[in-house]
Chains A and B, each alone.
Chain A
Amino acid sequence: MTNVRNLLPYWLTAPGILVMLAFVALPLVLTLSLSMYPFLPGGGVGDGLTLANYADIAWDDYFHAIFARTFGMAFLVTAICIVIGVPEAYVLSRLSSRWRAVSMVIVLGPLLISVVVRTLGWAVLLGNEGVINKILLSIGVVSEPIKMMYTFTGVVVALVHVLVPFMVLAVWTSLQKLDRATEQAAASLGASLPTVLRRIVFPQVIPGVLSGGLIVFALAASAFATPAIIGGRRLKVVPTTIYDEFLGNLNWPLGAALAVVLVIIVLAVSLGMNRLIERQYKQVFS
């Protein structure tokens, strides 16, 4: 092996690495520093480093409520995605190959459709004049429309729809590595299907549930379009608040500080969950 040959991998990766450093790493470092500059009324960024933006977030009840809502929403969405996504992935694995192909397009296809389009669909369904309320009113279940747009529930339902394909995909990948003979062995020894699922299948797909859960949680906590359209101006979450600070109030340092805090909490929760689950189910991960 000559020296030139040894350096080749570096030359081949260098262009991509340089682009990532310039357009991802550097801007992120600049954002971290931006969050420590004072804000000048009127949209300017002052001189001298300060932690005032972080203090604003730490001591203001307004921001506490927004963070609590964001992470409450993210946890709830993740929990629902696990509850419905895991069984769906299992059903997919049992379908005949023809039905599986159709079902895959139905379940995973929406990932390829713009989130604006998918959220618009929920706006059509959930509005006071929307389809769900029209049906409920016409069959007389309710006497006046149920408010679903601009509510926490509405955002959660729409976010579950947007994010559940990631959970199905992660668990599905995990299920494919599963040895079908273990299921058959358990069944032949007299275990009922619920027992097989609980004792044999579920423990083996825990890594898939974990990775799907982490993806869904991170995406739910940082989702912008769905909370902005279904939640509206009043039901604020951290991403829509960052948007308002940047493009409405022009308070870029505060917006940057909100983004830094958001990323830190998402990372901390993800690492914590990872540790916890890995310890609980050591034998599956080894």
Chain B
Amino acid sequence: MNRTPIPLLVFHWIFAIFMLAPLTMVVLVSFTDKGYISMPFDGASLRWYLAILDEPDFIAAFWRSVGLAAAAATLATILAVPAGMAIAWNRFAGREAMLGLLLSPLMVPHIVLGIALLRFLTQMGGASTMWGLTAAHTVIVLPYVLRLVVAAATGFDRSVAQAAQSLGASAWTVFRRIELPLIIPGVAGGWMIAFINSFDELTMSVFVASASTETLPVKMYHHIANTIDPLLASVSSVLILLTLILMLVLDRFYGLDRVLGGK
């Protein structure tokens, strides 16, 4: 194939700048030494990073989000792995409907899930509890794990499992020794993408989380509603750095397009 024409490359770099500009700005602003949003070129400092340490609310919200994301991703994985294997390897009545139901949180806007779960959890006595929030996050991240498990299981040679079975292995042994190890890359990728999605989720959590169960994005949203200060920029920069590390791991092992597209 001939080389990519220059106008297309120019377009590509403008596009890349557009994608990076807001994130770069956040990182730059976080290094200012002023008390308001400004560029660090006439005075840089780390004062807004040190300021995070004086904000126990932000730190508590961060660890709450980490714990919530880990719990939701793990629960979603426990539910999605058996379901994904059943769906990938069997043709049974109602299979399509079940797959549709398991993927349904991707189709329903988070704002709608947010109010639905707020109403439901209020009636169940689970509003503003951690278990309510964990259940809510588990259902919204389950589709991400399921897609990757189904994709991993579909591209898997069933004759290996049949060979083990014919040699006398029990169903549990076949699962533990043959099937699980072969789909584990899909499971791990699914867990990570579920973790990230739960950690970042705002729209639904803004309804389901209360002051005592505030996640980091909800805390940041309420802070922005009052004032936009460099503290937000430094907190955001820490998040960008952490996400970048996870992103490079995901891209290295799976390719971002595969993980995000669920192919």
Contacts and interface: CB of A to CB of B under 8 A. Distances in A.
A246 B119 CA distance: 10
B21 interface: yes
A218 B111 CA distance: 12
Q: Is the interface of A mostly helix, strand, loop or mixed?
A: helix
Contacts of A21: 101
Interface in B186-238: 196, 199-200, 202-203, 206-207, 217, 220-221, 224-225, 228, 232-233, 236
A150 interface: no
Given A20-B104, A27-B116, A107-B16, A123 B224 contact: yes
B250 to A, nearest CB: 8
Contacts, number: 271
A242 to B, nearest CB: 6
B152 interface: no
Interface stretch (A112-120, A139-147, A199-207, A276-284): A112-120
B92 A10 contact: yes
Nearest to B230: A124
A25 B236 CA distance: 35
Contact of A262 (B102, B109, B136, B199): B109
B117 A23 contact: yes
Contact of B4 (A23, A88, A91, A104): A91
Contacts of B116: 24, 27-28, 30-31, 259
> In which size bucket is the chain B interface?
35 or more
A118 B101 contact: no
Nearest to B216: A114
Contact of B87 (A13, A25, A28, A91): A13
A34 B239 contact: no
Q: Which of A108, A223, A247 is most buried by chain B, counting CB atoms within 10 A of its CB?
A: A108
B119 A247 contact: no
Contact of B256 (A30, A94, A109): A109
Given A180-B1, A224-B203, A246-B118, A125 B224 contact: no
A272 interface: no
Interface string A14-29: 0111011101111110
Nearest to B37: A124
B224 A34 contact: no
Contacts of B224: 116, 120, 123, 229
B156 to A, nearest CB: 16
A13 B102 contact: yes
B98 A125 contact: no
Contacts of A109: 243-244, 247, 256
Interface string B122-159: 01000000000001101100100010000000000000
A65 interface: no
A243 interface: yes
A106 interface: yes
Nearest to A108: B256
Interface residues of A, number: 91
A20 B102 contact: yes
A93 to B, nearest CB: 10
Contact of B139 (A9, A19, A256): A19
Contacts of B135: 19, 23
Interface string A84-97: 10011011101100
A23 B136 contact: yes
Interface string A205-240: 000000000000011011111001100000000010
A116 B250 CA distance: 22
Contact of B200 (A6, A34, A113): A113
Interface string A120-141: 1111110101110010000000
Nearest to B85: A12
Contact of A161 (B22, B38, B101): B22
Contact of B25 (A131, A247, A255): A131
B119 to A, nearest CB: 6
A52 interface: no
Given A94-B1, A116-B217, A247-B207, A19 B200 contact: no
A20 B111 contact: no
Contacts of B247: 105, 109, 112
A122 B37 CA distance: 12
A91 B13 CA distance: 10
A173 B207 CA distance: 34
A55 interface: no
A108 B207 CA distance: 28
Given A13-B82, A103-B16, A121-B26, A262 B112 contact: yes
B220 A116 contact: yes
B57 interface: no
Closest 10 CB pairs of A and B: A121-B22, A222-B109, A27-B116, A27-B120, A12-B86, A12-B82, A9-B86, A114-B200, A16-B79, A16-B83
5 contacts: A17-B98, A25-B101, A90-B8, A129-B38, A242-B111
